[in-house]
Chain A
Amino acid sequence: MEILNAFVLLANFVLVPAIAYGSQLALGALGVTLIYGILRFSNFAHGDTMAFGTMVVILFTWWFQSMGLHLGPLPTALLALPFGIAACAVFVLGTDRLVYRFYRQQKTAPVIYVIASVGVMFILNGIVRFAIGTEDQQFADGARFIVKAGEFKRMTGLDEGLAIKASQALTVVTAVLVVAALFWFLNRTRTGKSMRAYSDNEDLALLSGINPDRVVAVTWILAATMATIAGTLYGLDKSFKPFTYFQLLLPIFASAIVGGLGSPLGAIAGGFVIAFSEVMVTYAYKKFLAYLVPADWWAPDSLMQLLATDYKFAVSFIILVLVLLFRPTGLFAGKSV
């Protein structure tokens, strides 16, 4: 019984949140990795691209809510998602046209792109804060839980409860669907294959008649789609605050790099590695240990937390360094960084 309790406790506070968070990071990292693989630069504006897409989703959600539109148990944000994706795609295509295309034509060094993307980041950041404010925004509605802690306790008779939020379940389901669609697209369609070809060898792709403008446009649209979905899921799960999304850049990049930049599969693996590390390292194991170790043997007097939650961003860094030390190209051998 004690062991079961310990396990449920861990599932409730580590497993479930980490899977949801991991899915969100994976979707974010997929966007970063696609841009890196095809356009060959690290897009620092990605976190704020997520914020922008999510902001549009929120505005539409509010509008729909005010008109009395609802999706029953599902959040109204799902209804607004296509609009957010469309707006975000238009926006990134615009920045590509105005900013990156120039550098592409000049065949500039990647570092210039990175700096340019920092500029784009600040602009996006400004737009988002100007439009929706810097405060926390709640936009989740519909059912809150699919498994409630109290019900779980009653049904199983355990002391510990397991709660699964609707947003967590939604995150995982959506992530699985989106990733499946993305992989089908990349591996099965001609356009997807052209993208892989372009990422493999740009010169050869051009000489095989692949139109670079198309590849670039499709890449941006995919990245915007991933970013908006990731941002919306994160916002539904936690809350929306522009600054948080800017901060997400670090774990997202860590995920992409740990998995291997340019490798979509790696981005997903990396997302879960980072999410699990972050949640596990900042979890207080006191209660968990209390279940496993009889109190008369040894009772921990601290929280048994490896790192305070305030330092959770450091975890991404540590994992990043550790992985790169042993596998410089990342877990899934992307392009070396």
Chain B
Amino acid sequence: MIKVENLCKRFGGFYAVNDASLEIAKGSITGLIGPNGAGKTTLFNVIAGVHAPTHGRVTLDGEDITGLPPHVLFHKGLLRTFQIAHEFPTMTVRENLMMVPPDQTGEHIWGAWFKSAQVRADEAELRRKADEVIEFLEIPHVADELAGNLSGGQKKLLELGRTMMVDAKVVFLDEVGAGVNRTLLNTIGDAIIRLNKERGYTFCVIEHDMDFIARLCDPVIVMAEGTVLAEGAIDEIKANEHVIEAYLGTGLKNKEAKA
């Protein structure tokens, strides 16, 4: 579905992503792990059109999408969340969610003036959808709170909620679980699996929580120093010497050995 070929991204003299090639299969939940500063977020940014790549190519279903701006990619069904949660601080949580779906009648000035019945119907539908998402994320008590006032974890949930407002093809999640408590993390995991099964979303998930990755992801891609170090099922990854050295550390190996 998504194919990344020889991607490089340079900041000044420093290659944050250095010749990374990988593929994300349709219908998969692909995990992306690696040490801090490995270039995972930068890879997302390049794929999602925030940064133009220094070199390399990205394709979506065979179509070259390298360097397309984010709003165009959005309309092609490519969504992402931010590692550091973003929100529209002066709008309520519900309004934040309702901002997402594109191509509503009210979007066009003429529509806003002359098709008010249609606009209202759209709004009602949107609101229903937003309420569903709010219910799902178990944050109904803050639905009318300004998003700027949410806690860090709640903002993360809002990030995930945003991707549930439209029918996406592929969703890039950048540490949706960071700062979210265990129970909710499991709920998020369930949500991802459900979206994947029921709505056919393809996911690419960055996460440092290995249990979370192990439960959800197949395959798992490991990045280190800007390139892809290894790729495969989680068990292969956990056994891979290079990965242990670069990321997992020997602690995990010992723990596994004991268990």
Contact = CB atoms under 8 A, between A and B. Distances in A.
Interface stretch (B31-39, B80-88, B227-235): B80-88
**Which of A200, A204, A207, A210 is most buried by chain B, counting CB atoms within 10 A of its CB?**
A207
A334 to B, nearest CB: 11
A189 interface: yes
A196 B100 CA distance: 13
A97 to B, nearest CB: 18
B107 A209 contact: no
A208 B100 contact: yes
A190 B70 contact: no
B162 A190 contact: no
Contacts of A212: 69, 71
Ranked nearest first, the 6 interchain pairs of A and B with the lowest CB-CB distance are A190-B106, A209-B74, A206-B70, A200-B88, A204-B86, A190-B107
A206 B91 CA distance: 16
B88 A197 contact: yes
B197 interface: no
Nearest to B75: A209
B87 A201 contact: yes
Contacts of A153: none
Given A200-B88, A201-B87, A211 B106 contact: no
A200 B74 contact: no
Contact of A196 (B48, B90, B108): B90
Contacts of B108: 190-191
Contacts of A208: 71, 74, 99-100, 102, 162
A315 B50 CA distance: 45
B104 interface: yes
Contacts of B86: 201, 203-204, 207
Contacts of B257: none
A209 B100 contact: yes
A193 interface: yes
Interface residues of A, number: 20
Contacts of B88: 196-197, 200-201, 204-205
B164 interface: no
A194 B107 contact: yes
Given A208-B99, A208-B100, A210-B71, A201 B89 contact: yes
A191 B107 contact: yes
Interface string B42-86: 000000101000000000000000000111001100011010001
29 contacts: A189-B112, A190-B108, A190-B111, A190-B119, A191-B106, A191-B112, A193-B95, A196-B88, A196-B90, A197-B88, A200-B89, A200-B90, A201-B86, A201-B87, A201-B89, A203-B50, A203-B86, A204-B82, A204-B88, A205-B99, A207-B48, A207-B70, A207-B74, A207-B86, A208-B74, A209-B71, A209-B75, A210-B71, A210-B99
B259 interface: no
Given A191-B112, A209-B102, A212-B71, 15 more contacts: A190-B107, A191-B106, A191-B107, A194-B99, A194-B107, A197-B99, A201-B86, A201-B88, A203-B50, A203-B86, A208-B100, A208-B102, A209-B75, A211-B71, A212-B69
Interface string B13-48: 000000000000000000000000000000000001
B interface residue count range (under 10 / 10 to 19 / 20 to 34 / 35 or more): 20 to 34
Given A191-B107, A200-B89, A207 B112 contact: no
A89 to B, nearest CB: 13
Which of A190, A196, A205 has most B Cβ within 10 Å? Answer: A190
Interface string A89-124: 000000000000000000000000000000000000
Given A196-B88, A200-B91, A189 B74 contact: no
Contacts of A200: 88-91
Contacts of A211: 71
Contact of B99 (A189, A191, A193): A193
Nearest to B105: A190
A190 B100 contact: no
Nearest to A214: B107
Given A190-B112, A191-B112, A207 B107 contact: no
Nearest to A208: B100
A212 B49 CA distance: 14
Nearest to A188: B112
B35 to A, nearest CB: 25
B174 to A, nearest CB: 12
Contacts of A194: 99, 107
A188 B106 CA distance: 9
B71 A196 contact: no
Given A190-B112, A193-B99, A207 B79 contact: yes
Q: Which of A206, A209, A212 counts the most chain B CB atoms within 10 A?
A: A209
The interface centre, meaning the residue of A194, A210, A212 with most chain B CB atoms within 10 A of its CB, is A210
A196 to B, nearest CB: 7
A189 B91 contact: no
Contacts of A206: 69-71, 74
Interface string B100-132: 101011111101100000010000000000000
Nearest to B123: A190
A281 to B, nearest CB: 34
Contacts of B79: 207
Contacts of B69: 206, 212
Interface string A271-303: 000000000000000000000000000000000
